[in-house]
C-alpha cells in the first residue's frame, strides 16, 4: 500500500519518499546502528503525505516533525513525528509479523508503518484522547489503504484492557510516568517503547519485564508533545527575564523563584571545563549524567531574541542543562572552539548571581567526571519499579520517584 504513483516529474511522492529514506538510512549508518531492513522497507512504502493533507509534498517528505494541532496558547498537542525518530523507535520496538500492537498517541502515519511491519496476521490499534486527532487518523488511514488499523478514542493512561494482551506497546507522546496498565497489558516476552521524561529530559526507552520491574534494552534521545489526560504532569517554569529567558524543572522543592528574580542582571561568570565536544565520542549521556548529579538540576530556555541580544548563550536554546541554587544559576554554554581543529569545541559553563562561580565549577566538574568515567562506556541502564518499592530492593543508582513508579538510572 503506498497511495501514490511515480511519474516522470521530479517531485512525486514516491521520489521524495525514496530520497527521505535514503537520508535517514545514511545518517543512521553514520551515527549508530544501521536502519533495520524491515523498518526501511516500511518507510519506503507508507505514504507520509497522505497523513499531512494540504501540506506541501516537500514538507511531508522532509526529515522534520510537523505540528498538526496546538492548544489555545500555541503549544503543540499533536504532530506527525520526525521520520528519523519514528525509524529509531520502531527499531527499538522490534515488531514482528503476527504481533498485536497498541499505539498510544495517534496520528496515523506510525500506525501505518506498524501495519506494514506486523502484516496481515498481526493487528494494530492506535488510540488518542483527542477526538479531532482520532478522526484525522481514521480518515488518513482509510485514504492510504490501512483500513485494518483500529482507531480508538480513549485516555492512554489506562490502555485497552478489553483488547489486551499486546505483544508490543509503543507510546508516541512524552510520558512522565509508566502507569500500571501498560506493563499489565503486555504479553509474556513483550516490549514497551515510550518517551519518558526524566527530570525535564526525555529518553525513548525500550523496556521489557524482568520479574516485578521493567528494565531498559536501549534508549534514544527524543522530543515529543506531552501526554494529555490523567497521566499529564506539567513542568514548572521560572522566568528570569520575562518570557524571554527562564528555567524549566520538574515540580517540587529546592529552587526558589523569588531569590532568582535578579540573578540574570548580575555579571556573567565564564568557565572552561577542558572537556572536548565534537567528534571525540557520543554526548547523548552527558545531560542525563548532569541531571542525576544535582538536586537543583533544571533546563535553561531562551528565545532567539534573548540569544541574539546576548542575554544568555546556551548550548541549546530550547533547553540546555542548568543548575540553580539560592539566588544563582549556571548553565551549559554554546560550545567554544578548543583550538585542536575546526570540528573540536569545548564544554563551557556560564553563570549569574551570588555563588554562580561555585555552581559553574561544580557543573564543569561533573562534566569532567562523565568524560573520564562514562563517556566511552555502554551508557546508563534504566529500571522501572513499582512505587513503594523499598530502597534496599532497588539497584544502585539515581532514583527518580514518580506517581506509579520509582525509576533508577544506573551508570555501569
**Given the residues 79, 81, 123, 204, the one annotated as active site:** 81
For residue 318, give Cα distances in angstroms to 201, 299, 315, 345.
11, 9, 9, 20
Q: What is the longest distance spanned by two Cα atoms in the chain? A: 66
Nearest-angstrom CA–CA distance, 238 and 225: 20
Nearest-angstrom CA–CA distance, 332 and 351: 9
Q: Where are the alpha helices (DSSP H) in 159-267?
A: 181-184
Query: Is 81 one of the catalytic residues?
Result: yes
Closest CA to 201 of 318, 346, 85: 318
Nearest-angstrom CA–CA distance, 384 and 160: 21
Pairing of strands 398-401, 405-410: antiparallel
Got the DSSP string for 245-302?
EEEEE-SSSS--TTTTTTGGGSPPEEEEEEEEESTTS--TTHHHHHHHH-TTEEEEEE
Q: Point out the residues that are catalytic.
A: 81
Amino acid at each position: 500500500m503506498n497511495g501514490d504513483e511515480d511519474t516522470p516529474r521530479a517531485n512525486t511522492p514516491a521520489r521524495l519518499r525514496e530520497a527521505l529514506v535514503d537520508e535517514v538510512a545514511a545518517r543512521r549508518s553514520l551515527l549508530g546502528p544501521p536502519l533495520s531492513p524491515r523498518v526501511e522497507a516500511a518507510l519506503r512504502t507508507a505514504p507520509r503525505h497522505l497523513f499531512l493533507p494540504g501540506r506541501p509534498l516537500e514538507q511531508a517528505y522532509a526529515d522534520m516533525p510537523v505540528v498538526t494541532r496546538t492548544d489555545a496558547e500555541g503549544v503543540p498537542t499533536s504532530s506527525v513525528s520526525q521520520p528519523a525518530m519514528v525509524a529509531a523507535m520502531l527499531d527499538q520496538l522490534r515488531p514482528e509479523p503476527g504481533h498485536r500492537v497498541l499505539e498510544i498517541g495517534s496520528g496515523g502515519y506510525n500506525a501505518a508503518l506498524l501495519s506494514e511491519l506486523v502484516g496481515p496476521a498481526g493487528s494494530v490499534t492506535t488510540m488518542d484522547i483527542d477526538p479531532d486527532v482520532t478522526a484525522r487518523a481514521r480518515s488518513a488511514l482509510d485514504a492510504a489503504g490501512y483500513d485494518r488499523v483500529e482507531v480508538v478514542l480513549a485516555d492512554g493512561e489506562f490502555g485497552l484492557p478489553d483488547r489486551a494482551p499486546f505483544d508490543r506497546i509503543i507510546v508516541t507522546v512524552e510520558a512522565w510516568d509508566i502507569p500500571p496498565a501498560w506493563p499489565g497489558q503486555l504479553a509474556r516476552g513483550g516490549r514497551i517503547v515510550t518517551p519518558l521524561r526524566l527530570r525535564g529530559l526525555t529518553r525513548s526507552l525500550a523496556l521489557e519485564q524482568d520479574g516485578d520491574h521493567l528494565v531498559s534494552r536501549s534508549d534514544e534521545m527524543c522530543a515529543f508533545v506531552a501526554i494529555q489526560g490523567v497521566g499529564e504532569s506539567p513542568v514548572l517554569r521560572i522566568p528570569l527575564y520575562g518570557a524571554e529567558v527562564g528555567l524549566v524543572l520538574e515540580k517540587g522543592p529546592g529552587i526558589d523563584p523569588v531569590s532568582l528574580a535578579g540573578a540574570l542582571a548580575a555579571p556573567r561568570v565564564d568557565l572552561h571545563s577542558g572537556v572536548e565536544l565534537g567528534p571525540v565520542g557520543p554526548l547523548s549521556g552527558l545531560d542525563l549524567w548532569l541531571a542525576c548529579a544535582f538536586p537543583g538540576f533544571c533546563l535553561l530556555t531562551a528565545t532567539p531574541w534573548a540569544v541574539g541580544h546576548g542575554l544568555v548563550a546556551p548550548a541549546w536554546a530550547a533547553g540546555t542543562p542548568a543548575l540553580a541554587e539560592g539566588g544563582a544559576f549556571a548553565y551549559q554554554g554554546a560550545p567554544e572552539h578548543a583550538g585542536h581543529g575546526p570540528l573540536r569545541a569545548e564544554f563551557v559553563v556560564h553563570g549569574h548571581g551570588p555563588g554562580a562561580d561555585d555552581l559553574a565549577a561544580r557543573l564543569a566538574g561533573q562534566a569532567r567526571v562523565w568524560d573520564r568515567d562514562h563517556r566511552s562506556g555502554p551508557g546508563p541502564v534504566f529500571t522501572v519499579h513499582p512505587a513503594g518499592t523499598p530502597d534496599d530492593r532497588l539497584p544502585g543508582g539515581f532514583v527518580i520517584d514518580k506517581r506509579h513508579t520509582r525509576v533508577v538510572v544506573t551508570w555501569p
